[in-house]
Amino acid sequence: MKGPALPSSAPLLVTMGDAVGIGPETIVHAFRQGELQGAVVVGDPAVLRRAGAPLTAVIEQPQDLPAVPPGCLPVLAVPGLSGIPGLAGLPGGLAGLPWGHVDARCGAAAARCIEAAVRWVLAGQGAAIVTAPVHKEALAAAGVPYPGHTEMLQALAAAPGQRPPAVRMMLANDELKVVLVTIHQSLRSAIDALSFDAVLHTLQITHAAAAAWQARPPRIAVAGLNPHAGEGGLFGREEIDFIQPAVQAARAQGIDAHGPYAPDTVFMRARRGEFDVVVAMTHDHGLIPVKYLGVEQGVNVTLGLPFVRTSPDHGTAFDIAGRGQASPASLVAALRMARQLAGTKAKPL
């Protein structure tokens, strides 16, 4: 996933994630490995220092990065963090909270960091956004009206008075790339949300994004919803009623889409090189195969935003937070992929 150096002087913007999860310490580990060159952290310097940062340099704008002394972790000051309800008078602020617990104050802080990063990147002051993990329960406890990063970024990317852009989640590693038609909702509601338009639009977004990464048109496989892709209607009609028609419509538009194929074998075929990317109907259908290959190398990419956004393929890992055990491998992969995608100037994805 290594890519070229960014063509712009604008830095990568790395949000710190949940203050009591593993995000801050993976950021510090990546910094010690030299992987944060040309990047700044959007967050709380005290949280980063507690996570092991040797020195931090607080800056007010992304363009101040060149003034940061060598050996200092650059941290962008996020307005309003100190004013989060419940932090006033708490020794250490966010850095005084215990590791590994759901806390509304951490959810509110994570949301404000994301909001600040989006403002900067939309203003042209950031080349891309790399997000450390947030905790969905903490976001909900803070009253954040989005179930996760993807939905929040989608809403923040919309211009005032305009509809949010259509986005899709892609999880990728060096062996497999998977794009999802539906994401964070119950399986029952996800099946209800599937339609001809949803599948076709996913294929269009996937084709546009992947075509920017490689010299030839991407070969896209579509995984069915039902066992054996419905077995001709014996195990469900979704493939007949709208998945196959959407594939045919995409092909009529010049998209090299194939399927629907049985979900239990199509990922192996893609891993062996038959396809460049797989489109899956639901969250777990698509993400289990990628994560099985190794969470450490997985990268979450949001397709359809007017900027590049990547993130590690793991959560806050509260059970090991603060113990120094967290691996930065997935964050490093996300940083490298963000550089690669931003370097292509393939925006919007």
CA distance 142 to 71: 35
Beta partners for residue 42, in sequence order? 15, 76
Amino acid 216: pLDDT: 85
Amino acid 160: pLDDT: 85
Backbone angles phi, psi at 58, to 5 degrees: -85, 125
Residues constituting the chain: 349
Closest to 111 (Cα-Cα) out of 201, 16, 198? 16
> Following CA atoms 287, 290, 293, 296 in sequence, which dihedral angle do they give, to the nearest 10 degrees?
-90
Contact assessment for residue 35 and residue 61, using Cβ atoms and an 8 Å cutoff: no
Amino acid 80: pLDDT: 86
Residue 242 DSSP label: I
Amino acid 8: pLDDT: 52
Architecture of the domain made up of 1-162+307-340: 3-Layer(aba) Sandwich (3.40)
Question: What are the 10-residue block averages of pLDDT along the chain, 349 residues in total?
Answer: 49 97 97 95 96 94 94 92 87 94 97 97 96 96 91 92 92 93 92 97 94 85 96 95 98 98 96 97 94 84 93 94 93 93 53
Domain boundaries, the chain: 1-162+307-340, 174-293
CB atoms within 10 A of CB 191: 16
Locus of tokens 């852009």? 165
Amino acid 5: pLDDT: 41
Q: Tell me which of 3.90.1480.20, 3.40.718.10, 3.30.70.980, 3.40.50.280 is the CATH number of domain 174-293.
A: 3.40.718.10
> Following CA atoms 90, 75, 347, 333 in sequence, which dihedral angle do they give, to the nearest 10 degrees?
-90
Same fold across 1-162+307-340 and 174-293: yes
Amino acid 70: pLDDT: 92
Closest to 25 (Cα-Cα) out of 37, 41, 39, 1? 41
Contact assessment for residue 300 and residue 313, using Cβ atoms and an 8 Å cutoff: yes
| The 39-43 sheet, strands edge to edge | 56-59, 73-77, 39-43, 12-15, 128-131, 309-312, 299-303, 168-172, 177-180, 277-280, 220-223, 257-261
